[in-house]
Amino acid sequence: MNSEMLEKTQEDILAKINESEIITLLQDLVRIPSISGNEAEIAHYLNKVCLGLGLESTIDAHGNVIARLKGSKPGPRIALNSHMDTVGYGEGWTFDPIGGEVVGNRIYGRGSCDCKSSIASQIMAVKALIESKADLAGEIALTYVVKEEVQDAMQKGTVKLLNDGFQADMAINGEAIDMNIGLAGGGMAEVEVKTIGKRAHGSTPFEGVNAIHSMMKVAHEISLMKPGYHPLTGDGSIVLGVIEGGERSSVVPDECTLKVSRFLVPGENGEDFYQEILEILDKLSVQDAQFKATAELTYSSKPSLVESNEKIVESMVHAFHLLELPPTFSGTPQHCDVDYLVNQGKIPTVIFGPGKIKVGHIPDEYVEITEVVTAANIYALTLYELLKA
């Protein structure tokens, strides 16, 4: 770290960030099961931790934890957002998924990376600001939400928080992003296509119209579509995810359903993808009078983008420099709550947190302890830069 550039208060803040306390907090969080829809226990725990630090903290009607640290003077509100829920455990673990076991520089367990390490780093950063008696102008709002991992947007804790009127001047969305400064997030759209045929006996298939054959034509056309690209998120993707049709091999199926998703990059939207699918269906119906199909846009979330000259970004870059770390910019192809913070809440939001994207959701999920500590340092210095009185 660049001690020549650090102010005395900044040195004091960094000195208050304790690795063993971070490890203990993160282990506690990992050891509390919190699969989507079952976040009550971890919410109670986090609320208790925040109250213990002297924050104003509550659990709202949706199960979100909302804690506030108010400065001595007026100023901007900065939201620290992350999610308490995890996906399920799945098979193939060699570690206890709720064990929080430390092996070398790693803590293992479901949610260790996605996203309990971000929560631990953020809380420890705020704790350091409190203990260093940093004079702040403004407010830090910690928002730890439910059901981020579910697909239905209306169930998501961040959406409900914003619908209830939550506002902030800027935000950091704590997600595993390989310790990059995340300026962009991906979106996702899902279209359900249904082909309609005519049932017939398998011995006389010419008497019917095979809905699976029709769907094969649709799938082929979709396979020719090109995903989008953005320099921050990389390539998007188009995935034929689910196909269902038929009753038995001796019956010509009269119905087949396909669910196809498109992972969107900034500049794309779900409605355009839906229209592309409709154009495919129109084309096939012109080519074959027996072809019949419908399509429905069943899910659509938006990509997000924040400009590099936003204060929240510039302050985080400065924090990297103070720690003599090279700031690297990226995005995440996955969809996360930055969508709603930016697009619904109109809050300039950077994605940042410890952990490698590729180990989230898999067996033996882990996070590197050094990254969690470094993230706490960056959160703390960024917050102080923005709120110092």
pLDDT at 208: 97
Tens of pLDDT, residue by residue over 163-207, are 999 999 999 999 999 999 999 999 999 999 999 999 999 999 999
pLDDT at 2: 65
Calculate Rg over the CA atoms of the chain.
24
| Statement: residue 4 has pLDDT above 70 | no
| Statement: residue 219 has pLDDT above 90 | yes
Token pair recorded at residue 198: 């005519």
| Statement: residue 1 has pLDDT above 80 | no
Alpha helices in the chain (DSSP H): 8-15, 19-30, 40-52, 117-131, 157-163, 211-223, 270-287, 311-322, 338-339, 369-387
Domains contained in the chain, CATH given: 8-185+304-387 (3.40.630.10), 187-300 (3.30.70.360)
Three-class DSSP category at 74: strand
Tens of pLDDT, residue by residue over 280-336, are 999 999 999 999 999 999 999 999 999 999 999 999 999 999 999 999 999 998 899
Partner residues linked to 189 by β-bridges: 262, 300
Q: Is 234 left (phi over 0), alpha (psi -120 to 50) or beta?
A: left
Q: What's the pTM?
A: 0.91
Q: Mean pLDDT throughout 131-140?
A: 96
Categorize the per-residue pLDDT at 48 as very low, low, confident or very high, splitting at 50, 70 and 90. very high
